[in-house]
Amino acid sequence: MDQYKVTFLPYDKAVEVRDGESLIRAALQGGIHINASCGGEGLCGKCRVLVKQGNLLGGISERLGSEDVDKGYRLACLSKVKEDVTIRIPVESAIDRSVFDTRIVSRRTASIQCPDFERLKEQGLFFPPVEKRYLELQPPDTDNHIPDVTRLIEYLKREHDEHRLELAVPVIRDLPSVLREQGFKVTVTMLRSVRDDGQTRIINIQPGDTTAEHFAIAVDLGTTTVYAQLLDLVNGISLAEAGDFNGQISYGEDVISRIVYAEKGTGLQRLQQVVVETINLVIGILLRESGVDRGQVSTVVMAGNTTMTQLLLALDPRHLRRSPYVPVSTLYPPVHSTTIGIDLDDHAVTLLYPAVSSYVGGDIVAGVMGTGMYRDEELTLFLDIGTNAEIVIGNKDWLACTACSAGPAFEGGGIEFGMRAAKGAIEDVSLDPVSLEPMLLTIGDVRPKGICGSGLITIAAIMFEMGVINNRGKFNRDLGTSRIREHNGIWEYVLAWRDETQIDRDIVLTETDIDNLIRAKGAVYSGCMTLLEEVGLSMDVIERIILAGGFGSYIDLDKAMTIGLLPEIDPDRVTFIGNGSLIGARMISLTNRMRKEVLEVTGRMTNFELSETPSYMDHYIAAMFLPHTEIEKFPMVKQKRESWRQVISASRN
């Protein structure tokens, strides 16, 4: 895709953007503030910019007089970048430019870390747990009339060095006719054991040579969504990807409400059926899109959290939500896919990622596998942030993990105008340091409806950096802007005025909201602290951070460090694993060696229960500040506060 350079004056800051990117997003990406509060609909008319060189697509609105248009003014939110341009921002605040320039910091989200599946082949690891082999057996005659099963097994022993083979009765039943269909030329499908000394199970026998067609489906079995990839087992390539909302959502948004539902009457069976319906729907899309024959899919590999996995297998989850939080199992045997209702051929098996504990599930294990952190020297912090945050710390020598309840703030829950990351959610914000006028970016570039987790972190961080709120999240009440006000006894900041929103109300951020955010980030940070302390280490040993979960890709890393959600670390050392569950599921679809490693890694992941660790509460209380009681842990944040103080002070003098 073409990239263009946008140069912003007077800062002389250049940003590379994709073809067609809106100018306002380009500005935000470069850390350039433009007042804008209507979410990109050209409604507020505040985001006027002057094109100095080159041309923009669009950007003309009735909010601009024709004279201004002729002069080169455009509305940034309506302008698309289609070539290299130079843009002048009308700097409304009388900020000392020399000081301000130093404050321009580009937005940095975590770069995506994607495992290189091609390397599996190079490393000789491309041996899927379910493999096909084409065999040309000698037909029986009077000199050799050993049983069909013996003929097959002895051939595999002799010609393919395959031992410890087993066949179940349904496969044996098909054998005589399949063998004779094409003169004892057949393709066998074998499921490897996860144990070195385990049995290899012959799960299917097809007439002739079908080795060119063999497929697996990797599934991220999420609480909210089910994503899946169809993998070609011949070359390891993903042929199609599809997803849908987990149908269980109708029975509760989070795992706890699902568990509650499962405890009632036939609730467990209902939830089991519903998630399988979703999986079948997604599989249907994959097969349609790829044109693959359903009968040639032999494996489904799924990674999900412990609750999702137990619900899929109809394992009663009630004890997951009751102290002492006991899962039914954390290891799951391969199951015949059809026995749990999955609409594939009878022979297809489903493999499930093992879990570590009730709240560190197969999704986290899959993520850890996907990152490769279990075989690296670097001490890595792996963080999957959602309502529950799962934390894994370690390297090739040791792995410690825990889960903590962050509450729903990161997903917009418990925030007055909070919402999920959906169309109309304020996802990014900038503030003019003097006027405190905001620049809002919404998902879908529409008028704002609310604020999602990443927007929440950013606005709170910026306000803290600029001294709009103090380290306990309380507003500075003497800033002389109508956006900061007291309402029903609670102080708040108006992000968008009523006439700029979709909801016909002012969208505000209250001190209560900020308090909830602080609790959420405090839970995560203190979880990390406690976990490190349990293994005798402290936060400064962390060499790398890997974020997982959809949320992880949107977080502005600087801002996350500002509020003390993440420890201060070079943002280049923070990566995003993408859909860790899906990557992990894909990995073991393609290589049985990884499947064995999963067991080994799961066994090494020492689980700590924060509720049983008395120091957790102390760490939590210490983390209930922005960024932390001990500001010394965040020298960069301290420095940012100071430099903003200087900028603002200089511009006021």
| Comparison of 142 and 653: residue with beta carbon closer to a second copy | 142
Among 482, 612, 614, 632, binds a second copy (CB under 8 A): 612
Among 65, 333, 444, 635, binds a second copy (CB under 8 A): 333
Q: Say whether residue 66 binds a second copy (CB under 8 A).
A: no
| Comparison of 101 and 609: residue with beta carbon closer to a second copy | 609
Answer yes or no: are the C-beta atoms of 371 and 618 closer than 8 Å. Answer: no
Q: Say whether residue 207 binds a second copy (CB under 8 A).
A: no
Give strand pairing partners of 238.
231
Residue 328 per-residue DSSP state: S
Burial class (CB in 10 A: 0-12, 13-18, 19+), 138: exposed
| Comparison of 62 and 141: residue with beta carbon closer to a second copy | 141
| Comparison of 197 and 632: residue with beta carbon closer to a second copy | 197
Q: Say whether residue 168 binds a second copy (CB under 8 A).
A: yes
Q: Say whether residue 138 binds a second copy (CB under 8 A).
A: no
Whole-angstrom Cα distance, residue 515 to residue 477? Answer: 17
Q: How far is the CB of 207 from a second copy (least distance, A)?
A: 15
Q: How far is the CB of 181 from a second copy (least distance, A)?
A: 13
Whether cis (ω within 30° of 0) applies to the bond prior to 10 is: yes
| Helix, strand, coil distribution of the chain in percent, nearest 5 | 35, 25, 40
Whole-angstrom Cα distance, residue 514 to residue 503? Answer: 22
Whole-angstrom Cα distance, residue 88 to residue 191? Answer: 64
Q: Say whether residue 638 binds a second copy (CB under 8 A).
A: no
Whole-angstrom Cα distance, residue 616 to residue 144? Answer: 71
Q: Say whether residue 606 binds a second copy (CB under 8 A).
A: no
Collapsing DSSP to helix, strand or coil, 518 comes out as helix
Q: Say whether residue 653 binds a second copy (CB under 8 A).
A: no
Q: Say whether residue 530 binds a second copy (CB under 8 A).
A: no
Q: Are strands 349-352 and 335-336 parallel, antiparallel or unpaired?
A: antiparallel
Cα atoms in the Cβ-side hemisphere of radius 13 Å centred on 594: 32
Q: Say whether residue 635 binds a second copy (CB under 8 A).
A: no
**Tokens linked to 355:** 């879990």
Among 293, 316, 540, 572, binds a second copy (CB under 8 A): 316
Whole-angstrom Cα distance, residue 382 to residue 375? Answer: 14
Q: How far is the CB of 267 from a second copy (least distance, A)?
A: 15
Q: Say whether residue 416 binds a second copy (CB under 8 A).
A: no
Among 9, 105, 328, 535, binds a second copy (CB under 8 A): 328
Q: Which stretch binds a second copy (CB under 8 A): 273-281, 310-318, 366-374, 431-439?
A: 310-318
Q: Which stretch binds a second copy (CB under 8 A): 221-229, 331-339, 378-386, 427-435?
A: 331-339
Among 155, 332, 359, 634, binds a second copy (CB under 8 A): 332
Whole-angstrom Cα distance, residue 24 to residue 633? Answer: 34
Q: ∠ at Cα 413 (220, 638), nearest 5°?
A: 100
| Comparison of 30 and 334: residue with beta carbon closer to a second copy | 334
Q: How far is the CB of 335 from a second copy (least distance, A)?
A: 5
Among 140, 207, 295, 467, binds a second copy (CB under 8 A): 140
Q: Which stretch binds a second copy (CB under 8 A): 54-62, 109-117, 512-520, 609-617?
A: 609-617
Q: Which helix (H) or strand (E) holds 186?
A: strand 185-191
Q: Say whether residue 137 binds a second copy (CB under 8 A).
A: no
Collapsing DSSP to helix, strand or coil, 513 comes out as helix
Among 63, 125, 127, 325, binds a second copy (CB under 8 A): 325
Q: Say whether residue 142 binds a second copy (CB under 8 A).
A: yes
Q: Say whether residue 313 binds a second copy (CB under 8 A).
A: yes
Q: Which helix (H) or strand (E) holds 589?
A: helix 580-590
Whole-angstrom Cα distance, residue 493 to residue 456? Answer: 12
Q: How far is the CB of 175 from a second copy (least distance, A)?
A: 6
Collapsing DSSP to helix, strand or coil, 229 comes out as strand
Answer yes or no: are the C-beta atoms of 375 and 117 closer than 8 Å. Answer: no
Binders of a second copy among 337-396, rule CB under 8 A? 339-340, 357-358
Q: Say whether residue 183 binds a second copy (CB under 8 A).
A: no
Q: How far is the CB of 349 from a second copy (least distance, A)?
A: 12
Q: How far is the CB of 177 from a second copy (least distance, A)?
A: 7
Interaxial angle between packed helices 453-465 and 635-652, expressed in degrees from 0 to 180 and rounded to the nearest 10: 60
Whole-angstrom Cα distance, residue 62 to residue 64? Answer: 5
Binding residues vs a second copy (CB under 8 A): 140-150, 166-169, 172-173, 175-177, 197-199, 313-316, 318-319, 323-333, 335, 339-340, 357-358, 609, 611-612
